[in-house]
Structure 1
């Protein structure tokens, strides 16, 4: 918990951590109003799926450009620009009068989301380098905390009575804290990496990290989307417990991220990814037992295991020799988001052609792949 204490005691660390929370607060507030927007515009599920795809398209469109923007503006200014852009674009999807403008607004919202995601992870990487302090995992814990804040805020929906007003209040409050805090990081500029000619030796660590990012975030997305159905259909859980797997996963995910920096400082980034994958393996074994209580405990272990992986990947990716930190972070982000979006879809096709239990056997195989890759990373340490 040292990194959490560091964040709350020093504005230099709280400011970027709050940016992580801000991103999830804006996104989560939009997400809870998706059914409302669907009904307001009179669109069906297929149309809604295409509109949400536009959000993902916006995220991926900005990824190749993000490192150039960050290097041109400086990582601190790029992060602040992303905060301002995120504040403005968060309102658009709830204000649009028709379906076509919804697609455009979600594309812009997604682009601002992608820019801020890469810039804030690069920012934390640079601060860690300057100060020799680890708080990347705790910063990602703040992202998870943002989701909890959204959940608590959802109780105010009947009181507020208007999606636009709800988002407006959210934007003002979140931006107000950022206005107070941004001066602590806006001056930070990423230290240029000593460029090296392209070689397979240079690319290999990034490629391996990209595979881990794809698999780990793909697994996260699959558990988020499929854990409830798994408990219902495979373990025959009573209705009251169907959401327990996701709750257990989310709770340990948040807790693990607040603990991760201290463990990483003691054993190193690659070893903590290996430890996380071992914990996730045990989690999947419990999930595959077919017993409801053991499966819920397994989802909790999955959350704990995966919680430390993504923050460490960003940390390692931002420190690959011969690669700018923003480019390393962008590569990890792109690989991870691809997995997060495609993982649940791939698992869905597998569940349809075989069974949902076979899908979770595939996830067990994926986490074993991560464990194997950590051995390669130790031999080719970035």
Structure 2
């Protein structure tokens, strides 16, 4: 909890952490109104799927150019500009008068949040380097906190009565807090890196980290999308408990991220990723027991294990020798988002053709793969 106290006691660390919270507040507020938008525009599930793909397309479009923009204007300035841009873009999907404007709005929203994601992870990496502190994991915990705030805000839906007004109030409040704290990071620039000619030796650490990112994000997406169905179909859980797996996963995810920095400082970022993979593996073993309460406990261990992996990947990726921190972060983010989007789909095909149980057996094997890669990285010393 030391890093959490650090963030709460020092505006230099709270400022970028609040941007993490902001991203999830923007995205979560949009997400709770997806059914409303679908009904308002009279579109079917297939049309909605295409529109949501535009959001993902926006994310992937910005990734190749994000690091160049960040390096040119400075990571602190880039983070602040991204806050301004997403504050406008977040309004567009809910204001869309027709289907085509919805697709455009989601594309711009995706591009804005994708750029923000790279900018703020790079920003935290650079502040950690400058101040010789660890708070990346806790900053990601603030992202999870954003989801909790959105959940609490959803109780205001009947009172506000308008998606656009709800998002507008949210955007203004989030923006004003960011406006107040921007002075604490806006002048941060990435430390110069001694570039090396491209070689497989230089790229190999990033490639391995990208694989871990792909698997970790994909596993998180799978648990978010499939945990309730797994409890219902495989463990025959009662109706009141089918959401308990996701709740357990989310709770331990948030807790683990607030604890992760202190552990990382003691044992190192690669070892904590390996430890997280090992905990997640044990979690999958419990999930596969197909006993309701044991499976829920397994999902809790999954959340605890994966909670530290993604923040540490950004920390490691932003410190790879011979690579700009923004480029390393962008590569990790890109690999992770591909996994997050593809993972649940791949597992869905496996579940449909064989069994949902086989999908989670694959996730167990992939968690072991992460552990194996970290073992290799630790021996090689990156």
TM-score by length of 2: 1.00
1:325 aligns with 2:325: yes
Correspondence list, 1:175-190, <5 A: 175-190=175-190
1:379 Cα offset (Å): 2.4
1:56 aligns with 2:56: yes
Q: Secondary structure at the match of 2:16?
A: helix
Correspondence list, 1:303-318, <5 A: 303-318=303-318
- Counterpart CA distance in 1 for 2:159 and 2:319 is 47
Partner of 1:121: 121
Correspondence list, 1:48-87, <5 A: 48-87=48-87
On the 8 A contact 1:136/1:261 being kept in 2, the answer is yes
Q: Deviations over 1:32-58 (max 9, x none)?
A: 000000000000000000000000000
Unmatched 5+ stretches in structure 2: none
- Counterpart CA distance in 2 for 1:200 and 1:163 is 49
Partner of 2:273: 273
Partner of 1:153: 153
Correspondence list, 1:227-376, <5 A: 227-376=227-376
1:131 aligns with 2:140: no
- Counterpart CA distance in 2 for 1:152 and 1:171 is 16
Correspondence list, 1:19-38, <5 A: 19-38=19-38
Q: Secondary structure at the match of 2:158?
A: helix
On the 8 A contact 1:118/1:326 being kept in 2, the answer is yes
Q: Secondary structure at the match of 1:192?
A: coil
Q: Deviations over 1:137-184 (max 9, x none)?
A: 000000000000000000000010000000000001000100100000
- Counterpart CA distance in 2 for 1:130 and 1:107 is 35
1:381 Cα offset (Å): 2.7
- Counterpart CA distance in 2 for 1:89 and 1:135 is 28
Correspondence list, 1:33-48, <5 A: 33-48=33-48
Q: Deviations over 1:58-80 (max 9, x none)?
A: 00000000001100110000000
- Counterpart CA distance in 2 for 1:206 and 1:217 is 16
Q: Deviations over 1:281-308 (max 9, x none)?
A: 1100000001000000000000000000
Q: Secondary structure at the match of 1:308?
A: helix
Moved over 3 A (4+): none
Unmatched 5+ stretches in structure 1: none
- Counterpart CA distance in 2 for 1:300 and 1:111 is 32
- Counterpart CA distance in 2 for 1:16 and 1:380 is 32
- Counterpart CA distance in 2 for 1:273 and 1:285 is 19
- Counterpart CA distance in 1 for 2:236 and 2:47 is 33
On the 8 A contact 1:205/1:381 being kept in 2, the answer is no
1:331 Cα offset (Å): 0.2
Partner of 2:216: 216
On the 8 A contact 1:205/1:380 being kept in 2, the answer is no
Q: Secondary structure at the match of 2:78?
A: helix
1:250 Cα offset (Å): 0.3
- Counterpart CA distance in 2 for 1:237 and 1:357 is 15
On the 8 A contact 1:76/1:123 being kept in 2, the answer is yes
- Counterpart CA distance in 2 for 1:200 and 1:172 is 46
- Counterpart CA distance in 1 for 2:116 and 2:281 is 32
Partner of 1:2: 2
- Counterpart CA distance in 1 for 2:381 and 2:313 is 12
Q: Deviations over 1:113-138 (max 9, x none)?
A: 01000000000000000000000000
